[in-house]
Amino acid sequence: MLGTMTPIHQDLLDEAVELTRAAGEITLRWFRAQGLTVERKGDGTPVTEADKSAERFLREEIGRRHPTDSIVGEEEDDVIGLSGRTWVIDPIDGTKAFTHGVPLYSNLLAVDDEEGPAVGVINLPGLGETVYAGRGLGCFDNGVRTGVSGRDRVRGSYLSTSAFNHWPPHMLAGVLSAGLQLRTWGDGYGYSLVATGRIEAMVDPEVSHWDVAPMPIILSEAGGRFSDLHGGPHAGHGSGLATNGRLHEELLDLLRPIDPPG
């Protein structure tokens, strides 16, 4: 839990889950559809009409319901509000999986307020599963309260990642020598597995803010921990590590970048 911070209202969590699931239904219209057009953004990453439509839906609904809130998303420019509350959208986390017909992609939505992370949602429309949490309310998997695993030994624990492309050699060597079981059930799906106790850790050496914005509150409310690879507790610092908490410091020692944070 996030200490003595003020619990959020249940209605806000319910609304975020409702909106994210609705966005997921939009993406399913294009999932494995013939003729899906995949474009390339300036950074070379893929984007589809499903990404754009899901984000547009969320922005329009949030803007209509909460006109003074800020909105940050992957596909459109930021909207700056005056309320002190910010919604962070990743309409499809795992677009590469989506475009290859792999149902492990997710829709991510987070809400931050003046006290920090307030709501996080990982919706997995291809699997019919939603993992979500609200500050002071707990973490849930399709309505059932859930939490991280109790494993306290690194050797034999399961660690997932989105891909190995961005792993420096010392990181890979470290986790292999520590005896971790490595998998690539990645993106938001990997974080949901940690929050629900199915694996012990998920790591992304390079990540954008919206890719991990829901994770600090989800992991905290599930009894685990989220940080960047330097140990900072925030989502916007370019990397992410989610664990059951018991293994966090030991994994940070294995995974911490050689170069100091910029």
Q: What does the radius of gyration of the chain's CA atoms come to, in whole angstroms?
A: 17
d(CA 248, CA 231): 9
In a domain, 209, yes or no: yes
Same domain, 40 and 99: yes
Give the total number of structural domains in the chain: 2
CB atoms within 10 A of CB 68: 10
- Decide: residue 66, CB within 10 A, 0-12 exposed, 13-18 middle, 19+ buried: middle
CATH of the domain at 208: 3.40.190.80
* Domain, as residue range, for 226: 158-255
CATH of the domain at 87: 3.30.540.10
Same domain, 122 and 184: no
pLDDT in tens, the chain (262 residues): 445 689 999 999 999 999 999 999 999 999 999 888 888 887 778 899 999 999 999 999 999 999 999 999 999 999 999 999 999 999 999 999 999 999 999 999 999 999 999 999 999 999 999 999 999 999 999 999 999 999 999 999 999 999 998 899 999 999 999 999 999 988 999 999 999 999 999 999 999 999 999 999 999 999 999 999 999 998 988 999 999 999 999 999 999 887 655 5
